[in-house]
């Protein structure tokens, strides 16, 4: 007699598990907005996750992300030899995808801060003697996007001022 209720209990639990599993799996799959948010934070971890996804875009094709870029627009991608291309691409990614979602205004400030954090991390990879020039340009690029919404606002005189910070760059 005890086996029959136990069997019913096992069958019921198994059936519930089968019904719950697909629901749990769906809940575990992040939405496009959640993925976008995770890739557009100021942390190095967030930037590294975005870059890994950039290198394997096919894995993310179901989300419909816009991976296009014009890098640093009409400003130099490598001012004074400092390579800002990846930081500019990450910034473009955030701008384009939040605009597509219709939530750009609510996220612009964070995207610009993310850009600046990416630029500063890039500058940290250069020799300490030339790092002040890189950091100066990073600040200038950040101010251009923060205030004007575009790196195109960077003036050649800003690059000249950064060059003056490191005589090694003038040669």
Active-site residue numbers?
91
Phi, psi of 35 (to 5 degrees): -65, -45
The torsion defined by the Cα of 9, 14, 17 and 22, in degrees rounded to 10, comes to -150
Tell me if 34 sits within 8 A of 66, measured CB to CB. no
Q: 65 is written with which tokens?
A: 């992300």
Q: With the C-alpha atoms ordered 78, 81, 86, 87, is the resulting torsion angle positive or negative?
A: negative
Task: Specify the length of the chain in residues.
Answer: 171
Task: Give the distance between the most distant pair of CA atoms in the chain.
Answer: 93
Q: What is the 3-state secondary structure (H, E, C) of 80-117?
A: HHCCCHHHHHHHHHHHHHHHHHCCHHHHHHHHHHHHHH
């Amino acid at each position: 007699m005890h086996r029959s209720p136990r069997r019913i209990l096992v069958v019921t639990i198994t059936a519930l598990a089968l019904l719950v599993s697909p629901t749990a799996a769906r809940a575990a799959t992040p939405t496009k907005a959640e993925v976008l948010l995770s890739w557009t934070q100021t942390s190095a971890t967030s930037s590294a996750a975005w870059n890994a996804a950039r290198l394997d875009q096919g894995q993310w094709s179901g989300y419909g992300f816009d991976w296009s870029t014009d890098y640093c627009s009409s400003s130099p991608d490598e001012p004074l030899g400092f390579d800002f291309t990846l930081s500019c691409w990450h910034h473009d990614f955030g701008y384009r995808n939040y605009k597509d979602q219709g939530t750009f205004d609510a996220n612009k400030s964070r995207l610009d801060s993310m850009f600046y954090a990416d630029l500063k991390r890039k500058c940290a990879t250069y020799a300490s003697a030339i790092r002040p020039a890189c950091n100066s340009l990073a600040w200038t690029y950040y101010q251009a996007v923060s205030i004007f919404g575009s790196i195109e606002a960077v003036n050649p005189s800003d690059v000249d001022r950064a060059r003056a910070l490191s005589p090694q760059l003038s040669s």
